[in-house]
Structure 1
Amino acid sequence: MGWLRGVGRRRRDLGPVAAGLALFGFGLAEIYVPLAPYVEGDGPDLTELSDGWMAVLTVLLAGYCLAVAACGAYPRVAVVLAGVCFIAQSFTPLLPESPATPLTALIVVCFACVAMGGRHGPAIAAVSYFVSAGIETTIADEPDWAFIAFVALAVMGPAYAVRMRRAQVERLVALAAERETAARTDERLRVARELHDIVSHGVAVMVLQAGAAQVMLGSDARQAHESLDAVQEVGRDVVTELRRLLVVLRGEGSLERLPSLRHLEPLLTGVRAAGVRVDVTANGDLGRVPAAVDVSGYRVLQEALTNVVKHAPGVTVSVAIDVGHTDLRIHVVNDGPRIVRRSDGSGLGLTGISERVELFGGTATTGPGKGGGFEVRVELPLSGNSAAPMPSSTGASV
């Protein structure tokens, strides 16, 4: 499509050039092949003009046509050039009001300057037109300001409407570009969040299992092998999730493999393999939860369990999932110490939970539990009136 736009742009650039050449041919016919008014005495007899005056008129004609040819690319320069030529011809035996070419050229370039001449285009066009037309009528001793004003309104009025239309189109194009940039930024953030959800959970489990294998390697080889097998299994899951995300980013995602709160066993298996005991209670019909809310609820739960694996290994976690009439509620609490070990990270996990919930207009509360440990409470509306887009097969927004 790029070459088509290029062809269209070249055609627009060649249009004024073709108009200028056509006007030049018509003007030569007016000068060197005088029509009836000049022969019958209503205008000057061009056959009696000297070669010098004919050369001057030809140069001025070339100036008019050059102004028309350049009015698309350089409208302000073109209107000044046409005005200068119009004034100069006012001092020749052939006034610019007699042939059609001078006035036609001046009107065309004034229209172009008003429509496309930038911030000062209308003012430059108005000065060039009124000054040149005023000087010409003064020299001709026939000042007709009513006609001059009528022509100005007839030409510059529509030109100004075109100018406003072009400005509106430019604003819409700029707005579309801003929205596209914002959409790209949002998409990068969503992908980054999805990568964090996928990698953070898997890597945390693998690190703990690898550490356990290292401890057990000398004393309990069977347990060490089991830990290494768990590392391998979690690694495969992470690779699978990453492949799914890449498939979605290529636009080939399928809704058949959406993470769901109805299928928590793979997630819970990895967490339990890391030494964390998890009890899950689900109330309500998870089947009526919209897909976007379901995937986000799954990711919130995944992040909450990953935080437990990282900061409070060995504790017991209680998970309550409740599907109400208007919202989905998820409550995750562990029985660990009130003050748990913090990682060296920047707390992106909890931030990611808050961002996901905010997309749906929900609420998220995180902090130490009343009876010790740490808890995460999330409420996600089921109405679907959220700003969140439909998730892909990995939960990535598309």
Structure 2
Amino acid sequence: MSAALNVRARWRELTTTLAGVALFAFGLAELYVPLAGYVEGAGPDLAALPDGWLAVLTVLLVGYGLAVAGCTAYPRAAAVLAGACFAAQSFTPVLPEWPVVPLLALLAACFGCVAVGGRAAPAVAALSYFVSLGIENAMAGDSDWVFILFVGLAVFGPGYAVRMRRAQAARLVALAAEREAAARTDERLRVARELHDIVSHGVSVMVLQAGAAQAVLDGDPDQARASLDVVQDVGREVVTELRRLLVILRGAEAVPEGLPSLRRIDPLTAGVRLAGGQVDVAVTGDLGTIPAAADVSGYRILQEALTNAARHAPGSTVRVSIEVAGDTLRLDVVDDGAGPARRSAGTGHGLTGIRERVELFGGTFSAVPRAQGGFEVRVELPFDAEASAAVLPPAGITG
């Protein structure tokens, strides 16, 4: 968008420069080619003027050409220059109303000033136009203000219309830039959430299993080896998911089968079980009707809830309920862990990430300690049932 605007601005400046050169060339022809009087029976013969006045008129002609050439690049300065040259010519033997160049230059400079100038540009253009024509009328002994007002309206009206259209276009460009910046911010937040979910869950399980291996290393080497095998497997899974995320960020097509899904939560529940806990999963409804976006978000929410349970309540029993009712996905994760180290409701980056994911779908989220002990995470994600064509291919789920 900005590149297109820059090209248009360069073409506009080139056009006005050529117009200024053309107007200057036409003015030279008016001055130095022996033509008849410009207004029959009224104007002086320009070719018969003394050399001194011709030099003065040539200098003023240069000013007119510069004003037209710079009426878009320097609109206010161009309007002031054209008005000053027009007023100065009123004191010469050739009033500016007779040759066509002065009036065209003044009108073009005022139009450009109103159309593309800054906040004070319309006032500068109006002052330049009416003062210079007022001086010219006084020197000519003429008071044709009706004509002056008519020409002024014919110039300032279209110029103001162009000004309004440019302002509207600028607002649209600014709005598009704001939306693009907001989209980039949302994308960064999405990537940050994905990284947090992937790394936090994997590292938490690896730390727990490494601790378990260290605890039984001397007494039960087989169990220690099993825990270390889990650390290795989880590490590979984390690396695989990070590579998949990088592929998506680079713009390559992601393979739908490789996306996380609520129909493949065995790795999540296995991590809790290997940490000494127990997971009971209950599924109600058809998971195949969940669109891909809600499916991935539900998986990440469940991953974070189980990670919190494994981290803060190791060895507890976790009950997971996944329900699909119409166009709503409900997740309920309850553990029976207790103790002073339990997290409070709504704190921590994990719960914040869950809340942000839920807000993207306009759903509801609660995370509170239970009166009888333990912690409960409850989520409702509404989704568009029409988008279910984008869901993942069927896969089994076990608890």
Q: Which residue of 2 aligns with 1:46?
A: 46
Q: Which residue of 2 aligns with 1:37?
A: 37
Q: Which residue of 1 aligns with 2:351?
A: 350
Supply the AA of the counterpart residue of 2:233. E
Q: Which residue of 1 aligns with 2:383?
A: 382
Tell whether the 8 Å contact from 2:27 to 2:61 is kept in structure 1 after alignment.
yes
Residues in 1 aligned to 2:38 and 2:207: alpha-carbon distance in whole angstroms? 100
Q: Cα distance, 1:118 vs. partner?
A: 0.6
Tell whether the 8 Å contact from 2:36 to 2:45 is kept in structure 1 after alignment.
no
Q: Number of residues paired by the alignment?
A: 388
Deviation sequence 1:58-111 (CA, Å, 0-9, x none) = 000001101111111110001000000000000101110001000000000000
**Aligned ranges 1:1-398 → 2 under 5 Å:** 8-38=8-38, 41-252=41-252, 253-337=254-338, 339-342=340-343, 347-383=348-384
Deviation sequence 1:114-163 (CA, Å, 0-9, x none) = 01111011011001001101110121112211110010000110000000
TM-score by length of 2: 0.92
Residues in 2 aligned to 1:4 and 1:172: alpha-carbon distance in whole angstroms? 14
Residues in 1 aligned to 2:270 and 2:250: alpha-carbon distance in whole angstroms? 30
Tell whether the 8 Å contact from 1:295 to 1:391 is kept in structure 2 after alignment.
no
Tell whether the 8 Å contact from 2:365 to 2:377 is kept in structure 1 after alignment.
yes
Tell whether the 8 Å contact from 1:360 to 1:381 is kept in structure 2 after alignment.
yes
Runs (5+) with no aligned partner, structure 1: 393-398
Q: Cα distance, 1:305 vs. partner?
A: 0.1
Q: Cα distance, 1:373 vs. partner?
A: 0.7
Deviation sequence 1:292-351 (CA, Å, 0-9, x none) = 2221111111110000111111111111111112422111111212644449x9601111
Deviation sequence 1:230-288 (CA, Å, 0-9, x none) = 10100000011111111111121232322111111122223322222111011111111
**Percent identity for Structure 1 against Structure 2:** 67
Compared CA separation, residues 48 and 39, structure 1 to 2 (3 A): farther
Tell whether the 8 Å contact from 1:331 to 1:375 is kept in structure 2 after alignment.
yes
SS of match in other structure, 2:95: coil
Q: Which residue of 2 aligns with 1:395?
A: none
Supply the AA of the counterpart residue of 2:350. G
Supply the AA of the counterpart residue of 1:291. A
SS of match in other structure, 1:36: coil
Residues in 1 aligned to 2:28 and 2:221: alpha-carbon distance in whole angstroms? 103
Deviation sequence 1:152-199 (CA, Å, 0-9, x none) = 000110000000000001111111111111111111111111111111
SS of match in other structure, 1:332: strand
Tell whether the 8 Å contact from 1:360 to 1:385 is kept in structure 2 after alignment.
no
Tell whether the 8 Å contact from 2:33 to 2:47 is kept in structure 1 after alignment.
no
Tell whether the 8 Å contact from 2:332 to 2:379 is kept in structure 1 after alignment.
yes
Tell whether the 8 Å contact from 1:26 to 1:101 is kept in structure 2 after alignment.
yes
Q: Cα distance, 1:40 vs. partner?
A: 6.0
TM-score by length of 1: 0.92
Runs (5+) with no aligned partner, structure 2: 393-399
Tell whether the 8 Å contact from 2:289 to 2:391 is kept in structure 1 after alignment.
no
45-54 or 19-28, larger mean C-alpha shift: 45-54
Tell whether the 8 Å contact from 2:113 to 2:122 is kept in structure 1 after alignment.
yes
Compared CA separation, residues 114 and 174, structure 1 to 2 (3 A): same
Q: Which residue of 2 aligns with 1:396?
A: none
Compared CA separation, residues 32 and 133, structure 1 to 2 (3 A): same
SS of match in other structure, 2:330: strand
Residues in 2 aligned to 1:182 and 1:243: alpha-carbon distance in whole angstroms? 26
90-99 or 220-229, larger mean C-alpha shift: 220-229
Compared CA separation, residues 105 and 274, structure 1 to 2 (3 A): same
Residues in 1 aligned to 2:18 and 2:136: alpha-carbon distance in whole angstroms? 28
373-382 or 71-80, larger mean C-alpha shift: 373-382
Tell whether the 8 Å contact from 2:312 to 2:342 is kept in structure 1 after alignment.
yes
RMSD between superposed Cα atoms in Å: 2.3
104-113 or 172-181, larger mean C-alpha shift: 172-181
